[in-house]
């Protein structure tokens, strides 16, 4: 059965839909967590520390966090590998372009591939910047509030982050609705509702995430 | 009407093709697009040139033989087949680009004619029901709920022209395959092969080298028979159901 799924275009889209929904669920939680930054360093740093102690005493220190990380890495890899293989196939299936060109499909649809690559690169930078601190001069482990303020005090930090979050909004807008079709839960009756949920999710995520750099830039968070 | 045509000319499957320009005059707005091409071909034959090869058969919009990407649209600007497209949809003096369906699973045979036998092989993989041949069965022997009959008919309208593949940025045959699967899978007559049909037809579709679905929706916009995009959603649902069931056997 796993073989059937992985070898089929419909199956690979199912892998993309499920992994995408897992990441989407994570993003909603992540976005809500981020908003604690507006309640001061104490609350934000406390929240960040709590992420390591979730599930105690059943789970050991950081076990839950690592479990989430493993699931997310698996989801990212499954999503990206499926997308790469399907894209290769799609390009091979339509090798010659039409001479008469027309603008086709919506903006969100056309930007799925490039948007996905931008998001992939962003995730790498984001982890090196705020989790490991590798590309973050003056990174202080255990002081996430200060680290976030540092990042968004640089022009490039803001540009990278805001561009990525706009790409995320477009990606989620087409991706959520698309996942519903792939999993066969879309219908004519539900279509309007699904499109509305996709738009609202995309808007809330983008706005919620961008609120943090805007907060730092405007001095609300310092 | 006087028109400038830019038509894809390609001697055979292996030759390189190119867009050739032709002027046609004396075109009536009441002519169909194919009659306009007939007019061009008569002139080309009189001049001793090779006429433009294109597919056509019933010219009533029900056989699925005609094709052509006209000004970048499969079957041209109206939502119908090329044979039912009339020249009144164009203006005097227009330049019209005419190209064949483009997909690696639909190789060009000559000029505007492509090989669509990949569709036949998808049908062979599961687009049938098992029933004894002979006299027609009693019509009321197998009751079909009205909504199911309507759903089946909506999908059975597919004429297999391939406009969905031509319009799809991924050269995918999802709309065709889903229409053919759905119209049988919803009916009691199609129930015995419900799982194998969807699995085998999707597998064949992939083997033919068609692309995957990114839900751009171009197929449903181009379809002259109005097969809805939701047809693909329904196929995905059937495919997932069949994968679960067959996995258990």
Asked if residue A21 belongs to a domain, the reply is: yes
Stretch (H or E) spanning A76? helix A63-93
**pLDDT > 90 fraction of chain B, expressed in percent and rounded:** 93
Count of C-beta atoms within a 10 Å radius of residue A206: 21
Q: What's the mean pLDDT in B110-129?
A: 97
Q: What's the mean pLDDT in A29-49?
A: 96
Which residue ranges form the domains of chain B, and what is each CATH number?
3-109 (3.10.20.30), 117-248 (1.10.1060.10)
Using CB atoms, pick whichever of B6, B99, B214 lies closest to residue A109: B214
Residue B215 Cα distances to A49, A89, A148, A181, angstroms: 42, 15, 37, 8
Q: What's the mean pLDDT in B59-79?
A: 96
User: pLDDT per residue over B220-241, tens digit each?
Assistant: 999 999 999 999 999 999 999 9
CB contact under 8 Å between B206 and A94, yes or no, is no
- Chain B CB contacts of A181 under 8 Å are 215, 229-230, 232-233, 236
Residue with tokens 């609300």: A220
Find the residue in B nearest to A109 (Cα).
B216
Nearest C-alpha neighbor of B204 from the set B123, B145, B98: B123
Asked if residue A55 belongs to a domain, the reply is: yes
Q: Is B3 helix (H, G, I), strand (E, B) or coil?
A: strand
Cross-strand partners of B99: B69
User: pLDDT per residue over B129-175, tens digit each?
Assistant: 988 888 888 878 889 999 999 999 999 999 999 999 999 999 999 99
Q: Is A192 helix (H, G, I), strand (E, B) or coil?
A: helix
Asked if residue A222 belongs to a domain, the reply is: no
Pairing of strands B3-9, B18-24: antiparallel
- Chain B CB contacts of A90 under 8 Å are 169-172, 211-212, 214
User: pLDDT per residue over A129-148, tens digit each?
Assistant: 999 999 999 999 999 999 99
Using CB atoms, pick whichever of B99, B212, B216 lies closest to residue A100: B99
Pairing of strands B113-114, B108-110: antiparallel
Size of interface A-B (CB pairs under 8 A): 136
- Chain A CB contacts of B211 under 8 Å are 9, 86, 89-90, 92-94
pLDDT above 90 for B116: yes
ipTM: 0.92
- Domain range for A133 is 2-217
pLDDT computed for residue B117 by the predictor = 98
Residue B14 Cα distances to A189, B21, B110, B111, angstroms: 48, 22, 9, 12
- Chain B CB contacts of A97 under 8 Å are 102
Q: From the CA atom positions of chain B, what is the Rg in Å?
A: 20
User: pLDDT per residue over A79-106, tens digit each?
Assistant: 999 999 999 999 999 988 899 988 766 7
CB contact under 8 Å between B218 and A104, yes or no, is yes
pLDDT above 80 for B247: no
Using CB atoms, pick whichever of B209, B217, B236 lies closest to residue A10: B236
Q: CATH number, domain at A159?
A: 1.20.1300.10
Q: What's the mean pLDDT in A151-157?
A: 96
Q: What's the mean pLDDT in B29-56?
A: 97
pLDDT computed for residue B249 by the predictor = 65
Answer yes or no: are the C-beta atoms of B126 and B202 closer than 8 Å: no
Compute the nearest-CA separation of A25 from chain B (Å): 22
pLDDT computed for residue A105 by the predictor = 66
Residue A51 Cα distances to A59, A61, A129, angstroms: 12, 9, 18
Number of domains in chain A: 1
Answer yes or no: are the C-beta atoms of A13 and B233 closer than 8 Å: no
Give the full edge-to-edge strand order of the sheet including B95-99: B18-24, B3-9, B95-99, B69-70, B73-74
Asked if residue A9 belongs to a domain, the reply is: yes
User: pLDDT per residue over A187-219, tens digit each?
Assistant: 989 999 999 999 999 999 999 999 999 999 999
Find the residue in A nearest to B204 (Cα).
A8
Answer yes or no: are the C-beta atoms of A197 and A21 closer than 8 Å: no
For residue A28 the two structure tokens come to: 């909603």
pLDDT above 80 for A1: no
**pLDDT > 90 fraction of chain A, expressed in percent and rounded:** 90
């Amino acid at each position: 059965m796993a073989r059937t799924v992985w070898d089929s275009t419909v199956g690979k889209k199912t892998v993309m839909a499920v992994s995408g929904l897992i990441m989407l669920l994570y993003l909603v939680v992540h976005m809500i967590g981020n908003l604690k930054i507006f309640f001061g360093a104490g609350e934000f740093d406390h929240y960040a520390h709590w992420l390591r102690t979730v599930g105690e005493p059943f789970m050991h220190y950081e076990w839950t966090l690592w479990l989430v990380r493993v699931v997310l890495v698996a989801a990212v890899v499954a999503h990206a590998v499926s997308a790469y293989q399907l894209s290769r196939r799609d390009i091979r299936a339509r090798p010659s372009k039409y001479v008469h060109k027309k603008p086709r499909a919506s903006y969100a649809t056309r930007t799925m591939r490039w948007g996905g690559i931008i998001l992939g690169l962003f995730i790498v930078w984001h982890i090196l910047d705020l989790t490991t601190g590798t590309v973050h001069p003056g990174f202080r482990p255990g002081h996430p509030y200060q680290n976030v303020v540092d990042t968004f005090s640089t022009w490039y930090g803001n540009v990278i982050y805001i561009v990525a979050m706009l790409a995320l909004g477009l990606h989620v807008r087409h991706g959520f609705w698309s996942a519903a079709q792939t999993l066969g839960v879309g219908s004519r009756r539900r279509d309007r509702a699904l499109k509305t949920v996709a738009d609202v999710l995309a808007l809330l995520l983008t706005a919620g995430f961008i609120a943090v750099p805007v907060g730092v830039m405007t001095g609300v968070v310092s | 009407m006087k028109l400038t045509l830019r038509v894809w000319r390609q001697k055979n499957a292996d030759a390189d093709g190119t867009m050739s320009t032709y002027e046609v005059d004396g075109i009536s707005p009441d002519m169909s697009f194919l009659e306009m091409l007939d007019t061009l071909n008569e002139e080309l034959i009189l001049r001793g040139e090779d006429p433009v090869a294109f597919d056509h058969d019933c010219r009533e919009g029900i056989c699925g033989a005609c094709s052509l990407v006209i000004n970048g649209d499969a079957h041209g600007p109206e939502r119908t087949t090329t044979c039912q497209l009339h020249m009144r949809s164009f203006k005097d003096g227009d330049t019209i680009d005419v190209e064949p369906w483009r997909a690696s699973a639909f190789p060009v045979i000559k000029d505007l004619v492509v090989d669509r036998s990949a569709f036949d092989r998808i049908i062979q993989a599961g687009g049938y029901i098992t029933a004894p041949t002979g006299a027609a069965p009693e019509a009321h022997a197998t009751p079909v709920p009205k909504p199911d009959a309507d759903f089946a008919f909506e999908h059975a309208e597919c004429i297999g022209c391939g406009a969905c593949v031509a319009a799809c940025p991924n050269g995918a045959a999802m709309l065709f395959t889903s229409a053919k699967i759905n119209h049988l899978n919803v009916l009691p007559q199609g129930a015995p092969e419900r799982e194998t049909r969807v699995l085998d037809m999707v597998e064949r579709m992939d083997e033919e080298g068609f692309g995957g679905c990114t839900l751009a929706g171009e197929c449903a916009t181009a379809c002259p028979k109005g097969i809805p995009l939701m047809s693909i959603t329904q196929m995905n649902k059937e495919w997932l159901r069949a994968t679960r069931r067959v996995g258990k056997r």
